[in-house]
Structure 1
Amino acid sequence: MQTSDHDGVLVVAVSGELDMISVDKVGTALFEHLAKQPDGLVVELTVDFMGSSALSMLLELYARAQRAKVGFAIVATAVAAARPLMASALTQVLPVAQSVEEAVKSIQEERKPG
């Protein structure tokens, strides 16, 4: 996992495999980032494999972000991430963006006072 700050929006790039073995470690790190209350959290999935446990973790992360009023988006350009999200219809539930830039801009627009 690599993190970068985009004007207060934290982008976390997740690579490798998100399976039953790795999802707890990745999820714990993402929940810790969220607990720091950034303006927004973007999860960029550049994974080679993503199992159902990862989908559950992303749903929980989104729910926690909503409760904490932290902007949230997922970028899933890798086929291994996009396919399970689409197959499970979670693209209808989770905020999915086409690029990190789009996700950051969307969160920043959401956060503007007015």
Structure 2
Amino acid sequence: MTSSETASTASVQTSDHDGVLVAVVKGELDMISVDEVGTALFDHLAKGPEGLVVELAVDFMGSSALSVLLKLHAQAQSDGVGFAIVATQAAAARPLMASALSQVLPMAESVDEAVKMAGKQPETADQSGQ
């Protein structure tokens, strides 16, 4: 297997939704591709968008991808960037649910919902009870 074959197992395509960057991850997120995909996602986050939405349109997602998502979420919080994940396909939803990360990470059922979530500052939700 050559490096060009392994590099094509996953891809990231982005689009801007009024300041919120939507990154669609396709393919297989395994030990071979997760570093490249993770680097791309962190690079997009470093550009300082208002929010970052990661849509996991993957055929496979290994445990190494869960670690990257946790680190990405932590970095987004540290940078004050809104963050949300869309995982409607079973290949992404199952590992997130089985690991209980679906209860820790901000999840949305659609890209539109995720864009709204990621575009808001997290602190505003805490003040609604007053």
Does 2:96 align with 1:85?
A: yes
Does 2:93 align with 1:67?
A: no
Structure 1 stretches lacking a partner, 5+ long? none
Q: Which residue of 1 aligns with 2:49?
A: 38
RMSD: 1.2
Aligned length: 112
Q: Residue 121 of structure 2 aligns to a residue in which SS? A: helix
Runs of 4+ that moved beyond 2 A: 107-111
Matches within 5 A, 1:103-114: 103-110=114-121
Aligned partner of 1:57 among 68, 72, 81: 68
Instruction: Report how far residue 108 of structure 1 moved.
Output: 2.4
- Say which structure, 1 or 2, has more relative contact order (CA 8 Å, 6+ apart): 1
Aligned partner of 1:21 among 10, 32, 37: 32
* Counterparts of 1:78 and 1:84, CA distance in 2: 11
Mean CA deviation greater in 99-108 or 14-23: 99-108
Higher Rg: 2
Structure 2 stretches lacking a partner, 5+ long? 1-11, 125-130
Instruction: Normalising by structure 1, report the TM-score.
Output: 0.95
The percentage of aligned residue pairs carrying the same residue is 74
Instruction: Normalising by structure 2, report the TM-score.
Output: 0.83
